[in-house]
Structure 1
Amino acid sequence: MTTTPASSVADYIDTHREAFLEDLRTLVHAETPSTDKPLLDAGLDVVRAVVVGLLGEPSAEARHDGGSYGDVLDLRWEGRDAEGTMVPAADAGDAVLVVCHYDTVWPAGTIETWPLSVDGDWLTGPGVLDMKFGIVQTAWAVKALRELGIGHPPVRMLLTGDEEIGSVAGRPHIEAAARESALTLVTEPSAAGNPKDRRKGMVFADLRVTGRQAHAGLEPEKGASAVHALAALISEVVALESAEHGTTVTVGTFHGGTGRNVVAGAAEALVDVRVTMPEEQERVVAELQALRLPEPYAADERLTLEVDVDANRPPMNPGPETAPLLERVVEIGRGLGRELQPTAVGGASDANFVSALGLPVLDGLGAVGEGPHAVHEHILLSGIAPQTALLAGILADAVK
């Protein structure tokens, strides 16, 4: 990919920015909370209409039932040569897979008080950064390549609806599709325009203690406080941190009991652990599973501890299959007049799954912005064309 074609894509997107923004508005206003199945189903229909409206009917398509989670939509298009002629894939492994999630953390009704709106260079709205932009960006990148006569390989879009809550339904489809593809791209938000080359792995732990209720004033000795027992355990959980290895532990919520004057009969804490290395994930999982209530609570038969551990995502670190691709991305960026610096971040994405399989994956190719999951979530209008051109350059560079 040379400077001229890349610049042409950026110019094309600038010229069509209003149409790009209208597509983005359509997706942002189609609310898709991760836990609202009816809205997810309706929202995925909207996503499909926008993407197919830009790229035409796919050559192959499958919609996988997500059960109580969002469905997974798998769309495929043939490659194109420089003359715009469709080039059928020699085999499925020629395709470049682009993974996007359409679910967001924002509850139904958010759009009524926070519609997509412009404030200077900011375009703000629920889910615009994480990651409705990445869906629109992908379709417009392919559209631009076609209309500019720049060849691209077969493209496969996988749209998942439960990334924000662990990718329970999405993960097997992501892993299967990645195994069948030459390269996986993930258009999650960028790191200030830079791709993300390292992500921490995640471990979730739900700690629940059941005790016995009693009146706090009349007969406290007849109770066994679940809150006291669980609170005594928290220091052991936090001690699993390792600054040396980049392992962090956060007790995100702690709640229990029914009233000030009641010995608590139940308590729960939800724990988030982030790790940089597989061996650290294994250590943390083993130690969480081995947790026991400390004395004197362990000796009280009225108190029971339940620990549910989910090693949700493995850490993502660039291996020999991905490192050369990152170097190519930096070169493509230079063709756009940019000096990109692949960046490590603490958050996880669906790219973690692909990396753990030892397959090539590039992540953080989406919007430039800030505030994912926060009320100041926004993208920069000035980043739309450069990021879409970068993605288009990567696609064009993948032509065999």
Structure 2
Amino acid sequence: MLADLEELVVCESFSADLDAVARSAQVVASMGARYLGMEPERIVVDGVTHLRWTFGAPRVLLLGHHDTVWPMGSLHTRPWSVTDGIARGPGVFDMKAGLVQMFHALASLPSLEGVCVLVTGDEEVGSDTSRALIEETARKCVATFVLEASADGGALKTGRKGTSAYELVVHGKAAHSGLEPEKGVNAAIEAAHLTLCLNEVAMDVNAGTSESWCTTVTPTVVTAGSATNTVPAQATVSVDVRVPTLAAQAHVDAALHALRTTVPGARLEVRGGPNRPPLEETSSAGLFRRAAALAQRQGLQPLASASVGGASDGNFTAGLGCPTLDGLGAVGGGAHADHEHVIVSEMLPRTRLLAALVAEVLR
């Protein structure tokens, strides 16, 4: 398993480099064919390479991705290594170890009839080219297992916030800021008002909810103006939204579209909207109970569950109503960070747990 993990990690797969993603897809395809006994279907959408293996009529979907956030050349500063039982390297935790565990788990089963494996190439950048493929596949299945890395301490991810992304674009009017500023319409001032309004939107949707699992409405990138001596004619506020429920997602969407300008003459354009629906705990509860019982039977430590703010492709499958359990991949930490790592001793137990879980649901 470590040799396989090294093979994946040393093939860099930065999402923005489509040639690198294609090379990575070839490595993943070869590894999958070796363990599953069949070449995958290669699906290229807008230059992004996705892989799918289907065995009979699909009932159980195993979902992962092979792209990473690490720019090409990251191996030079973060080389593959295994020291004192810890594996390191770009993408090792998110989520190449999960792919290795998945292939080995499936290879241990007597039959793969009813299994579908989908490994996408653009999860880290929003799954724009793979969302339709994910949803098409999940509609046929009774369960989805997501091989994303576990939460802290190895907890499975039973809840994920949904995501929305917006741009509030303010259209004003330029004027010389020294000679005749009064003839301009200052888009920057209006953007400032709107930024403050976002906190009110969050407070409104969170009324009566738990602070630890609340909706967040976060202004991120704010830009305005074209020159230091010109009244800004345009300003943009990027907004990151994380929601625990579909109702909260709809509430925020309506609130942002209801925003009004306060600077006379300014016009507001709201772009964007919901991206991933939330993975609500009701979608994962039954599968988590099964996983916990199997872990107990296998003599593993009691399984923990966690709800997390980050989204995954499991949000899409849960949003369709397909029961979804996430975080079944590597145990470790440091996703997207310099200390990204995998605890090697946990790889085999998690592989056996996944195999048992797939087999039970197929039965």
TM-score by length of 1: 0.81
Distance 1:140 1:109 in 2: 29
Among candidates 186, 194, 201, match of residue 146 of structure 2: 186
Which residue of structure 2 aligns with residue 247 of structure 1?
215
Q: Is the 8 A contact 2:314 2:326 kept in 1?
A: yes
Q: How far apart in 1 are the matches of 2:168 and 2:83? A: 43
CA distance in 1, matches of 2:187, 2:332: 43
Deviation at 1:276, TM superposition (A): 1.1
Match of 1:67 in 2: 46
Structure 1: how far apart are the matches of 2:174 and 2:80? Answer: 49
Name the structure 2 match of 1:279: 247
Secondary structure class of the residue paired with 2:338: coil
Distance 2:227 2:73 in 1: 32
Cα distance 1:380–1:262, how it changes in 2: closer, same or farther (>3 A)? Answer: farther
AA aligned to 2:26 is D
Q: 2:197 aligns with which of 209, 213, 236?
A: 236
Determine the structure 2 residue equivalent to 1:177: 137
Residues 266 and 329 (structure 1), Cα distance of their counterparts in 2 relative to 1, 3 Å cut: same
Give 1:257 deviation, angstroms: 2.8
Residue in 2 that maps onto 1:392: 355
The 5-angstrom pairing of residues 118-157 of structure 1 reads 118-143=82-107, 145-146=108-109, 153-157=113-117
- Find 1:54's aligned residue among 23, 26, 35: 35
Paired residues of 2:149 and 2:330 also in contact (CA < 8 A): yes
Instruction: Provide the residue aligned with 2:65 in structure 1.
Output: 101
Q: Which moved more, 1:184-193 or 1:208-217?
A: 208-217
Q: Identify if the C-alpha distance between structure 1 residues 209 and 74 changes in structure 2 by more than 3 Å, giving closer, same or farther.
A: same
CA distance in 2, matches of 1:197, 1:218: 59
Return the alpha-carbon distance in structure 2 between the equivalents of residues 22 and 256 of structure 1: 50
CA distance in 1 between counterparts of 2:185 and 2:83 reads 55
- Structure 1 residues 230-285: Cα deviation after superposition (integer angstroms, max 9, x where no partner): 11210112221144331111112222334544433332222111111111111111
In the alignment, structure 2 segments of 5+ residues that lack a partner are: none
Q: Which amino acid aligns with 1:233?
A: L
Give the one of 281, 286, 300 matched to 1:337: 300
Once residues 94 and 342 of structure 2 are traced to their aligned partners in structure 1, the CA distance between those partners, rounded to angstroms, is: 9
Match of 1:361 among 309, 324, 345: 324
After TM superposition, give the deviation of residue 186 of structure 1 in Å. Answer: 0.5
Say if 1:376 and 1:226 are closer, same or farther in 2 by CA, change over 3 A: farther
**Which secondary structure does the structure 2 equivalent of 1:180 belong to?**
coil
SS at match of 2:149: coil
* Counterpart residue identity of residue 223, structure 2: H
Task: Please state whether the residue corresponding to 1:263 is helix, strand or coil.
Answer: coil
In structure 2, the CA distance between the partners of 1:26 and 1:215, relative to structure 1 (3 Å rule), is: farther
**What code does the residue aligned with 1:225 have?**
N
Q: Distance in 1 between matches of 2:267 and 2:350?
A: 52
Aligned length: 354
Task: Note if 1:225 corresponds to 2:186.
Answer: yes
Q: CA deviation at 1:346?
A: 1.5
Partner Cα distance (2:113, 2:123) in 1: 26
Call closer, same or farther: CA 1:178–1:212 in 2, change over 3 Å: same
- What residue number does 1:82 align with? none
Q: How far apart in 2 are the matches of 1:158 and 1:24?
A: 18
Secondary structure of 2:104's partner? helix
| Counterpart contact for 1:318–1:355, Cα < 8 Å | no
- Quote how far apart the aligned CAs of 1:323 are: 2.8
Aligned in 2, Cα 1:113/1:284: closer, same or farther, shift over 3 Å?
same
Displacement of 1:22: 2.3
SS of equivalent to 1:241: helix
Structure 1 stretches lacking a partner, 5+ long: 1-19, 78-88
> 1:94-120, CA deviations, whole angstroms, 9 ceiling, x for partnerless residues?
x42111111222222222322222343
The answer as to 2:23 corresponding to 1:42 is yes
Deviation at 1:331, TM superposition (A): 0.8
Q: Secondary structure at the match of 2:69?
A: coil
Per-residue deviation, residues 290-326 of structure 1 (Å, max 9, x unmatched): 2222x2x1x22xx43221122111111233x743322
How far apart are the structure 2 equivalents of 1:314 and 1:212? 37
Read off the aligned partner of 2:300 and give its amino acid letter.
Answer: G
> Which of the numbers 14, 18, 22 marks the counterpart of 1:33?
14
CA distance in 2, matches of 1:292, 1:65: 42
- Alignment pair present for 1:23 and 2:4: yes
Q: How does 1:6-17 map to 2 (within 5 A)?
A: none
Distance 1:175 1:397 in 2: 23
Report if aligned partners of 1:98, 1:156 keep a CA contact under 8 Å in 2. Answer: yes
- Letter of the 2:355 partner, please give it: A
Work out whether residues 322 and 360 of structure 1, in 8 Å CA contact, stay in contact via their aligned partners in 2: yes
| Alignment partners' CA distance in 2, 1:269 and 1:364 | 33
Matches within 5 A, 1:283-362: 283-293=251-261, 295=262, 297=263, 299-300=264-265, 303-319=266-282, 322-334=284-296, 335-362=298-325
Q: Secondary structure at the match of 2:154?
A: coil
**Normalised by the size of structure 2, how large is the TM-score?**
0.89
Name whichever of 254-263 and 39-48 sits farther off.
254-263
